[in-house]
C-alpha cells in the first residue's frame, strides 16, 4: 500500500513539475512560431501583418502602418490575407506535424484565424486611396488639356513689354483676352500659374526681379478681367529654363516670355 502511495505521489510530483513548466514551454513555443511566421511572410513579400499567438494558434491582422505595403502590392485586402494564411499554415517550427510531451503538443501551428475587422478596415483604406488617385489623375488630365487650349489660343504670339520694365504694350491685351476667354472653358478647381522668364543678358538678380514683375503684371491683368485671384499665381524664374539659344537675338527674344500653365489645386508649383 505504501509503495502504491509513493508511486502515485511520484507521478503527482512529475505532473506538478510539468504544469509549472508549461507556461515557460508555451511562451518559448509561441515566440519561436511567431518569429518563423514573420520571417516566412517577409520572404514571400507579405509585410504589413501583425501575428498574435495563442499557444500554437495564430491570428493574423493588418497593421495600421502596413498600408503602404499592401497598396504597393496591388492585391485586395482579402486576397493578400488569404495568401498570408496559406503561408502561415505551412510553418511547422521544424517539428513533426504532431508531436507530444506530457500530453502537450509541441508541434507546428495548429490553426490560423483572421481578424476580419482589420481586413475590412484595410480594404476601406485601399478603396479610398484608389478613388483619390483616380480623381487626381482626372484633375491632372484636365489641367493638361486646358494648358494645351490656352497655348493654342496664344499660338506664336508673345506678351510685349516696354524694354526693361513690366509695362504691357502692343497686342498684349488681345492675347490676355484670348487667354481669359479660354480659361472660362476650363473645369473648376484648377490653378493658373503665370510664369515669367527672361534671356540671360544682365545680372541674375535683375532678371529674376524683371521676370517676377512681368508675371505679376500678366496675372493682375487677368484678375482685372474677372479671373478669381485665388485661382491665379505668378512667379518669375529669370533666365532659367530657356526654350531657345541665347546666343542669337531670335533665341533671346523667344526666351523673354510669359507662360500660362494650369495645374490641379493641390499640386505644388514649379517650372
The verdict on domain 135-264 having CATH code 1.10.760.10 is no
Cα diameter, the chain: 124
Q: Is pLDDT of 25 > 60?
A: no
Residue the block writes with cell 541674375: 204
Residue 11 pLDDT? 47
Distance CA 191, CA 266 (A): 9
Place of cell 521544424: 94
Task: Label residue 242 exposed, middle or buried (CB < 10 Å: 0-12, 13-18, 19+).
Answer: middle
Which pTM does this prediction carry?
A: 0.64
State residue 1's pLDDT score.
Answer: 52
Query: Where does residue 71 rank: exposed (0-12), middle (13-18), buried (19+ CB within 10 A)?
Result: middle
Any residues with CB less than 8 A from the CB of 126 and at least 6 apart, and which?
67, 70, 71, 76, 77
> Percent of the chain scored above 90 by pLDDT?
69
Q: Do residues 48 and 62 make contact, with C-beta atoms less than 8 angstroms apart?
A: yes
Instruction: With CA atoms as reference, report the closest residue to 237 among 265, 201, 263, 213.
Output: 213
Residue with cell string 484636365: 142
- Please count the CA atoms within 13 angstroms of the CA of 217 that sit on its side-chain side: 21
Which residue do the cell numbers 512681368 mark? 214
How far apart are the C-alpha atoms of 52 and 111, rounded to whole Å?
12
pLDDT value at residue 267: 62
Q: How does pLDDT run across 181-222, given as a tens digit for each residue?
A: 999 999 888 999 999 999 999 999 999 999 999 999 999 999
Average pLDDT of the segment spanning 82-98: 77
103 pLDDT higher than 80:
no
For residue 2, the model assigns a pLDDT of 52
147-176 residue pLDDT tens: 999 999 998 899 999 988 999 998 899 999
Helix (H) or strand (E) holding 234: strand 232-236
Q: What is the pLDDT of residue 104?
A: 43
The residue that leads in pLDDT, 249 or 17, is 249
Q: Please, are residues 117 and 66 in contact by the beta-carbon 8 Å criterion? A: no
Pairing state of beta strands 190-197 and 232-236? parallel
Residue for cell digits 516566412? 40
Q: What is the pLDDT of residue 129?
A: 95
pLDDT(260) > 50? yes
- Sequence ranges of the domains in the chain: 15-114, 135-264
Question: What average pLDDT does the structure give for the chain?
Answer: 85
Higher pLDDT, 15 or 258: 258
Instruction: Give the per-residue pLDDT at 29.
Output: 76
β 257-264/160-161 pair status: unpaired
pLDDT beyond 90 at 99: no
CA nearest neighbour of 191 among 134, 137, 268, 133: 268
Q: If residue 59 lies in a helix (H) or strand (E), which one and from where to where?
A: strand 57-62
Query: Binning pLDDT at 50, 70 and 90, where does residue 126 land?
Result: very high
93 falls in which pLDDT band (50, 70, 90)? low
Amino acid at each position: 500500500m505504501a509503495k502504491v502511495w509513493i508511486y502515485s505521489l511520484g507521478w503527482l510530483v512529475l505532473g506538478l513539475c510539468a504544469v509549472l513548466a508549461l507556461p515557460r514551454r508555451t511562451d518559448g513555443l509561441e515566440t519561436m512560431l511567431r518569429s518563423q511566421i514573420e520571417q516566412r511572410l517577409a520572404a514571400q513579400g507579405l509585410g504589413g501583418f501583425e501575428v498574435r499567438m495563442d499557444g500554437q494558434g495564430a491570428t493574423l491582422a493588418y497593421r495600421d502602418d502596413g498600408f503602404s505595403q499592401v497598396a504597393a502590392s496591388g492585391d485586395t485586402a482579402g486576397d493578400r490575407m488569404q495568401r498570408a494564411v496559406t503561408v502561415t499554415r505551412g510553418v511547422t517550427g521544424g517539428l513533426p506535424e504532431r508531436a507530444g510531451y506530457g500530453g502537450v503538443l509541441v508541434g507546428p501551428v495548429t490553426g490560423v484565424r483572421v481578424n476580419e475587422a482589420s481586413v475590412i478596415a484595410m480594404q476601406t483604406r485601399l478603396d479610398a486611396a484608389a478613388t483619390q488617385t483616380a480623381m487626381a489623375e482626372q484633375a491632372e488630365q484636365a489641367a493638361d488639356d486646358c494648358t494645351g487650349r490656352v497655348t493654342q489660343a496664344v499660338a506664336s504670339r508673345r506678351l510685349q513689354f516696354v524694354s526693361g520694365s513690366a509695362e504691357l504694350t502692343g497686342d498684349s491685351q488681345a492675347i490676355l483676352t484670348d487667354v481669359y476667354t479660354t480659361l472660362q472653358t476650363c473645369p473648376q478647381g484648377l490653378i493658373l500659374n503665370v510664369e515669367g522668364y527672361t534671356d540671360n543678358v544682365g545680372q541674375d538678380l535683375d532678371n529674376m526681379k524683371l521676370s517676377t514683375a512681368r508675371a505679376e503684371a500678366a496675372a493682375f491683368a487677368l484678375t482685372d478681367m474677372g479671373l478669381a485671384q485665388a485661382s491665379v499665381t505668378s512667379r518669375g524664374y529669370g533666365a532659367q529654363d530657356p526654350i531657345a539659344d541665347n546666343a542669337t537675338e531670335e533665341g533671346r527674344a523667344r526666351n523673354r516670355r510669359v507662360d500660362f500653365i494650369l495645374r490641379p489645386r493641390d499640386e505644388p508649383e514649379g517650372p
